Amino acid sequence: MSGFLSGLVPLETADGFEAPGVHSFDVPPLFESVPWFDKYMLQAIISVILILGFWLIMARKNALVPSKGQYLGETAYFFIRNTIARDMIGHDFRRYLPLLIALFSFVLINNIFGVFPLSLLPTPSHVGWPYGLAILVWVIYNGVGIAKHGPFGYLKHTTLPSGVPAFMWPLIIPLEFVSNIIVRPITLSLRLFANMFAGHLLVLVFVLGGEYLLLHSESIINKTAGVVALIFSMAIFGLEIFVQSLQAFIFTVLTAQYISSAAAEEH
Amino acid sequence: MTPMEIVGSLGIVGYGLGAIGPGIGVGLIFASVIQGTARQPEARGAMMGTAWIGFAVTEALAIIGIALAFVFGGL
């Protein structure tokens, strides 16, 4: 078993246990000749196929009395539609519903890959994927605002909250600009990335450390600690499922919130 | 002679310090949600929606901390 594991992650070097770190996320490419096609890319492609299949099957047959499968699809759809889109965006939410559903499904499936036994690697734990998603969201919510208010109107709308007295403008305008235009995409991507990264690191520490303590040490105390760590890693997996679903939800909610604040009317 | 020698990264200490503030903040958010739910149970749904957004925004500080701990981990 240790031979199989060490093929995936470097378990042991000449001087004992090597703690998992940033290098644990540098997976080699699947084929030597295509350097960009690694495990993250494969998982993202599989997730797109799964999501397309799920929503196509769910949208194909619509009976008045729903079957079990249609009920599942409708529950997922109405969760995003009512809890996220309608509550956050308001009356004009239907235009943004496909974007929100696609974002939620993509982030959720790719996060769940972190605990799915055949993959065991969340795709957003490589920072490029959240960066891509955040750039997409950034372009969309700024585009929505510019289309609604015009370029200068949007700049005024997003940097100057109404009702601010004139002597506060030099303070408020740079703050709001940095907060709304620059920091938002950074925190949006870093939040998803760091949650997945830290969660996967936690799993690696418990599983690899437990395995090392159990199989590579002599003392009975170490072996007991290894067994306890391996059992406790199951609880960590449970925590990870919660965090992954929560992060998918929060990513979509914040996207809806940004679109809503960019498209809001003047009060 | 050196009485005790500690090796490691100052970035980890910095992350530990940086996680104090978001820890208190997230605790305050959910303490308020629990209090609000106890006072008015039917408003729980509306409070939870706001609480998750506040949680995400507060947690961003700790998240930036862990990213910076890796960035400055070599120092």
Of the candidates A232, A236, A245, A250, the residue with the CA atom closest to the CA atom of residue A199: A236
**So what's the pLDDT on residue A8?**
47
Instruction: In whole angstroms, give the CA distance from residue A159 to residue A46.
Output: 40
Domains and CATH numbers, chain B: 10-71 (1.20.20.10)
A99-123: per-residue pLDDT in tens? 999 999 999 999 999 999 888 899 9
Residues A190-229 as b/e (b if ≥16 CB within 10 A, e otherwise) read bbbbbbbbbbbbbbbbbbbbbbbbbeeeeeeeeeebbeeb
Choosing among B26, B59, B68, B71, which should be mutated to test the A contact, i.e. which has the most A CBs within 10 A?
Answer: B59
Say if residue B66's pLDDT is above 90: no
Say if residue B56's pLDDT is above 90: no
Tokens for A196, please give them: 């997945």
Residue boundaries of the structural domains of chain A: 19-263
Higher pLDDT, A65 or B27: B27
**So what's the pLDDT on residue A80?**
92
Residues B11-46 as b/e (b if ≥16 CB within 10 A, e otherwise) read beebbeebbeebeebbeebeeebeebeeeeeeeeee
Say if residue B6's pLDDT is above 90: no
Confidence band, pLDDT 50/70/90 cuts, at residue A89: confident
∠ CA(A192), CA(A198), CA(A202), 5° rounding?
145
How many CA within 13 A on the CB side of residue A134? Answer: 20
**With contacts defined as CB-CB under 8 Å, which chain A residues touch B71?**
none
Closest partner residue to B66 (CB to CB) among A83, A194, A253 is: A194
**So what's the pLDDT on residue A13?**
54
A159-197: per-residue pLDDT in tens? 888 888 889 999 999 999 999 999 899 989 989 998 999
Amino acid at B39: R
Determine the residue of chain B that is closest to A88 in CA distance: B49
Chain B stretch 8-67, residues whose beta carbon is closer than 8 A to a beta carbon of chain A: 49, 52-53, 55-57, 59-60, 63-64, 66-67
> Is the reported ipTM for this assembly greater than 0.85?
no
Say if CB A192 and CB A124 are below 8 A apart: yes
